[in-house]
Amino acid sequence: MNKRKTIFDTTLRDGEQTPGVSLTNEQKLKIARQLDKLGVDVLEAGFPISSMGERQNVRAIASEGLRLDVCGLARVLPKDLDACIDCGVDMIHTFVSTSDIQRIHTIKKSREEVVTMAVDAVERIKEHGVKCMFSAMDATRTDLDYLLEIFKAVENAGCDIINVPDTVGVMSPSGMYTLVRNVYNGVNIPIDVHCHNDFGIAVANSLMAVEAGASQVQCTINGIGERAGNANLAEVVMSLHSIYGAKTDINTEYLLETSKMVENYTGIHIPPNTPIVGDNAFAHESGIHTHGVLEQSDTFEPGIMTPEMVGHKRRIVIGKHAGRHAVKKSLGDMDIETTDEQLDEILSRVKDIANKGKRICDADLHAVASTVLGRN
């Protein structure tokens, strides 16, 4: 496997298509700057033909002078392509439905017409000296021979990179591997993947596509996007780095900060057990785990990924599953020293409180310790 992979972020395009999400222009600019700091290679800023406001926003992001490539989305229609060109983007991502189900029921074009439209679009983009990515929308439900035919046609027209979207998130990981491997063997330009998360396997499918030869992955921050969302950037990147030993330009120490920004602006809250950036991703409560982690962190953490790598912190939680080591450590952090008997008494009182269904914060622990130590 070629170890260097590029990351295409579509938080501001597919991510903003999350039902109920609408970002202001100022928020989009701030996210764009944050994604630049995070180190993504390409940022899909929006779909310029969709509205005047969207066009102004894509133009504003394209003129920010960011290090990354700014991309605009366009159907294979001249007016969409011209709207992108007008925004001054570095790359145009042009797409058309290739599966029979979408082709017949939405765009109502023959297979031949679709190939011609795709080739014309790529030629128009390349005439303007802009980088071009072509997506065969619904590729995972498209007849394979036809998919290879259209990919080959756009390659011959000068396309820089092709995208294999799992538009409705129905592909299995092994199916994704086989599909991308077939495409990899059939074309001579880089392959990108765009996986939706309808069955919760967008990240697994993206990684299988990489194993099969894809060199670029499309992701969003916090996995937001149409319906159940897209492949989560933090999960894809940390898996690539830590499990596969691959490299990207992502500065992983900004992953948590970026996740919080997008959570805040979109109002889409992430559950505490979210991998990598969730509040509990590096939190430990049970006695056996905290004892192990306090002794040597990788006893009950992956080790190949630490909280520091992603801008997070390890947390020891005092609750009904807590043990002596955790309570002792937490008291030590508060400069409270105890005898063994006092520690046992504090632990027993803490468990009594937790068993009543209450959460124990530092202030509660401090209060219990003060009572036991007779400081009140």
Where along the sequence are the contacts to ligand KIV (CB under 6 A)? 14, 95, 135, 137, 165, 167, 194, 196
How far the first Cα of the chain sits from its last, in Å, is: 64
* DSSP H or E run through 362: helix 362-372
User: Please, what is the minimum distance in Å from the beta carbon of residue 183 to ligand KIV?
Assistant: 15
Which residue ranges make up the site for Zn ion (CB under 5 A)?
A: 14
Judged by CB, which is closer to Zn ion: 43, or 293? 43
Closer residue to Zn ion in complex, CB, 235/285: 235
Shortest distance, position 78 Cβ to Zn ion, whole Å: 23
Q: How far apart are CA 193 and CA 186, in angstroms?
A: 16
Closest distance of CB 170 from ligand KIV, Å = 12
**C-alpha to C-alpha distance for 25 and 23, rounded to whole angstroms:** 7
Closer Cβ to ligand KIV, 166 or 235, answer by number = 166
Please report which helix (H) or strand (E) contains residue 315, including its range.
Answer: strand 315-316
How far is Cα 300 from Cα 181, in angstroms, rounded to an integer? 36
When the beta carbons of 72 and 165 are compared against ligand KIV, the nearer one is 165
Q: Which is nearer to ligand KIV, 137 or 238 (CB)?
A: 137
| Binding site partner of 278, from ligand KIV, Zn ion, none, Cβ cut-off 5-8 A by kind | none
Closest approach, Cβ 137 to ligand KIV, in A, equals: 4
Among Zn ion, ligand KIV, none, residue 95 binds (CB under 5-8 Å by kind): ligand KIV
Residues 6+ away with beta carbon under 8 Å from 38? 250, 251, 254, 255, 258
Residue number, 164 or 283, with CB nearest to Zn ion: 164
48 binds, among ligand KIV, Zn ion, none (CB under 5 to 8 A by kind): none
| Phi, psi at 222, each rounded to 5° | 65, 10
**Min dist. Cβ of residue 190 to ligand KIV (A):** 16
Q: Which is nearer to Zn ion, 95 or 282 (CB)?
A: 95
Contacts of 256 (CB under 8 A, 6+ apart): 276, 277, 310, 311, 312
- In terms of phi and psi (left: phi > 0; alpha: psi -120 to 50; beta: otherwise), the region of 224 is beta
**Nearest distance from residue 218's CB to ligand KIV, in Å?**
8
Least distance from ligand KIV to the Cβ atom of residue 128, Å = 20
* 319-334 residues labelled b (16+ CB within 10 A) or e (exposed): bbbbbebbbbebbeee
Phi, psi of 135 (to 5 degrees): -110, 130
From the list ligand KIV, Zn ion, none, pick the one residue 137 interacts with, judged by a Cβ distance below 5 to 8 Å according to partner type. ligand KIV
* Residue 285: contacted member of Zn ion, ligand KIV, none (CB under 5 to 8 Å, by partner type): none
- Whether 292 and 299 have beta carbons less than 8 Å apart is answered as yes
Shortest separation between residue 165's beta carbon and ligand KIV, angstroms:
3
The CB-of-121 to ligand KIV minimum distance in angstroms stands at 13
Report the partner that residue 215 touches, choosing among Zn ion, ligand KIV, none (CB closer than 5 to 8 A by kind): none
Q: Which residue is nearest to Zn ion (CB)?
A: 14
Residue 239 site contact among ligand KIV, Zn ion, none (CB < 5 to 8 Å, cut-off depends on kind): none
Quick one: what does residue 135 bind among ligand KIV, Zn ion, none, with the CB cut-off 5 to 8 Å set by partner type? ligand KIV
SS3 193: strand
| Interatomic CA distance for residues 87 and 70, integer angstroms | 10
d(CA 276, CA 312) in angstroms, rounded, equals 8
φ, ψ at 205 (rounded to 5°): -65, -40
Cβ partners under 8 Å of residue 264, min gap 6? none
Q: Which residues contact 254 (CB under 8 A, 6 or more apart)?
A: 34, 37, 38, 39, 311
Which is closer to ligand KIV, CB of 153 or CB of 170?
170
- Complex with Zn ion: residue 14 or 155, whichever CB lies closer: 14
